[in-house]
Amino acid sequence: MGKHLELKAADGHTLAAYLAEPAGKPRGAVIVIQEIFGVNSHIRAVADGYAADGYLAIAPALFDRAQRGVEYGYTPEDIQKGFALKNASDIDHALKDVAAALAQVSHAGKVGIVGYCWGGYVSWMAACRLDGLACAAPYYGGGTTTAEAIAERPKCAVMSHYADRDMHIPMDGVQQFTAAHPEVTVHVYAADHGFNCDQRGSWDAAAAKLARSRTLAFFQAQIG
């Protein structure tokens, strides 16, 4: 069970975050970036999971600039509300908030970032634009296969996870991303968008387990 705290971004904005601490000395830190549903019970569980694996895990509430305390579920109505907040969010502001989370946990050692859905896009952009990250693991990042995102260049090691039945991210876009970034490890799963989330109908236990094992091995190699 983690705890809630407040972070302050470089522009003075104050945002909430969920912090999950490991039982012993951290082997490093992991920033967990939300889907379009806020820092809900699933995202907190993801952070708890990385803490159980020995990392200091933090999940910043990136929607706080538009609406504080967002914790949506996965109904069609929640999806509509989540998309509205995502569309109202600015990547530059989001990266300021990620940087605040990075500053909060950097004392633990090397820091990696993992993100899901919109958070996958944010984690990719953080890998490209922020200093101080050891690695990034975007999951089905909507927006990562646009021409603008593909033109970015990562400053750290990246492992990206995609799904071949993802209607939000066409496979031709994934192929373009892969061709443009031979330095990035790309995995594609026989699954749908959101396959990592056990609260969604698209959850795929086998794909989620395999992706997580790969991500953990990646973090162990890059962070410790």
Q: Which of 48, 117, 128, 192 is catalytic?
A: 117
Closest CA to 137 of 23, 33, 60, 27: 33
Q: Is 135 a catalytic residue?
A: no
Burial class (CB in 10 A: 0-12, 13-18, 19+), 93: middle
DSSP 107: G
What are 215's two structure tokens?
């991500």
Distance of alpha carbon 199 from its chain centroid, rounded?
A: 17
Q: Is residue 201 classed as helix, strand or coil in its secondary structure?
A: coil
Q: Which of 42, 161, 181, 193 is catalytic?
A: 193
Q: Is 117 a catalytic residue?
A: yes
Q: Is 197 a catalytic residue?
A: no
Q: What is the Cα–Cα distance from 61 to 221, expressed in whole angstroms? A: 28
Q: Which of 166, 181, 192, 204 is catalytic?
A: 166
* Residue 210, C-beta contacts closer than 8 angstroms, at least 6 positions apart: 189
Cβ-based neighbour number of residue 206 at 10 Å: 11
Catalytic site residues?
A: 117, 166, 193
